[in-house]
Amino acid sequence: MKRIAIDMDEVMADLIPKHLQLYNENFGEALTLEDLHGRKLREVRPHAVEELRGYLSDPGFFRDLDVMEGAQDVIQELHEDHEIFITTAAMEFPTSFTAKYEWLKEHFSFLNDLNFVFCGDKGIINADYLIDDNARHFKRFEGTGLLFTSPHNVHVTGYERVDSWGDVREYFLK
C-alpha cells in the first residue's frame, strides 16, 4: 500500500481567499487572486507583513476555511487503497493546532486522526508521495513531490504538478 502525505493549507483548505479578505477589509484595498499571480500576499504588500502574519496567528483563523473543490471526494477515494497522512507545517503558526485539528475532524472525519502530522520540516515524513503547494517541502523529502498549483507557485518549475483534485485523482487512480 502506497503512502501519500498531503499538505493542508492551499491543498485541502482554501486559505488565500480569507487572507485576502482580511487584508482588503483592514487596508481598504481590493486585491484579487490575479494580483497574486506568481507571488505571495506578503510579497505583493511587504509593508503589511506583520499584519498578514498576525491574521495567520489568530487561533481561529484556520477553523472556518473552505475545503478545496474535490478534496474530500478524492482523498476518500485514495484512502481506500492508500495510506493517507495529513502533513501540515503547523510549527510556523503554533496557535493554529486546535483550529486545524477541528477543521480536519469536521471535513475529513473518515481519516484516522493518528495520521494527522503537525510538523515543521516535512523532510521527516516517510511517504511515497507528498502533495504540497510549497516546493521547499520537497527539498529533503525522499519520496515523489507533487506540486499542487496555487497562485504563488505558478512560476515554480522542476516538479511534477497537479492543478486540481481532479488531476490528483487521475494521477493515482488511473
**Do the strands 129-132 and 66-67 form a parallel or antiparallel pair, or are they unpaired?**
unpaired
Q: Do 118 and 145 lie in a common domain?
A: yes
Give the predicted TM-score (pTM) of the model.
0.96
pLDDT-derived band at 89, boundaries 50, 70, 90: confident
Q: Do 112 and 162 lie in a common domain?
A: yes
- Give residue 34's domain range: 15-61
Q: What's the structural domain count of the chain?
A: 2
Q: What is the pLDDT of residues 108-156, one digit of tens each?
A: 999 999 999 999 899 999 999 999 999 999 999 999 999 999 999 999 9
Q: Do 82 and 57 lie in a common domain?
A: no
Q: Tell me the pLDDT of the chain averaged across its residues.
A: 96
Q: Do 20 and 84 lie in a common domain?
A: no
Catalytic residue among 9, 66, 113, 128: 9
| Residue 9 is among the residues annotated as catalytic for this protein | yes
User: The CATH number of the domain where 149 resides is what?
Assistant: 3.40.50.1000
Q: Do 131 and 51 lie in a common domain?
A: no
Q: Do 41 and 125 lie in a common domain?
A: no
The per-residue DSSP string of the chain comes to --EEEE--BTTTEEHHHHHHHHHHHHHT----GGGGTTS-HHHH-GGGHHHHHHHHHSTTGGGGPEEPTTHHHHHHHHHHHSEEEEEE-GGGSGGGHHHHHHHHHHH-TTS-GGGEEE-S-GGG---SEEEES-GGGGSS--SEEEEEP-GGGTT--SSEEE-SHHHHHHHHH-
| Residue 7 is among the residues annotated as catalytic for this protein | yes
Cell numbers for 149, please give them: 498549483
pLDDT-derived band at 40, boundaries 50, 70, 90: very high
Q: Do 102 and 161 lie in a common domain?
A: yes
Q: Do 137 and 124 lie in a common domain?
A: yes
pLDDT-derived band at 91, boundaries 50, 70, 90: confident
The confidence score (pLDDT) of residue 58 equals 95
